[in-house]
Amino acid sequence: MLLVTSEYTLVNQIAWYLSAGIGSLVVVSLLTRPESKEMLDRFYTVLYTPVGQEHKLREAGISVVLE
Answer whether residue 3 shows pLDDT above 90. no
0.85 exceeded by pTM = no
CA 24 to chain centre: 14
Which of the four pLDDT bands, split at 50, 70 and 90, describes residue 52?
A: confident
pLDDT at residue 2 in the model: 56
User: Please, which residues have CB within 8 angstroms of residue 57's CB and are 6 or more apart in sequence?
Assistant: 45, 46, 49, 63, 64
Positive or negative torsion for Cα 66, 47, 54, 51: positive
The domain limits of the chain are 1-32, 35-67
Give per-residue pLDDT as tens, 4-38: 656 788 898 899 999 999 999 999 999 999 999 99
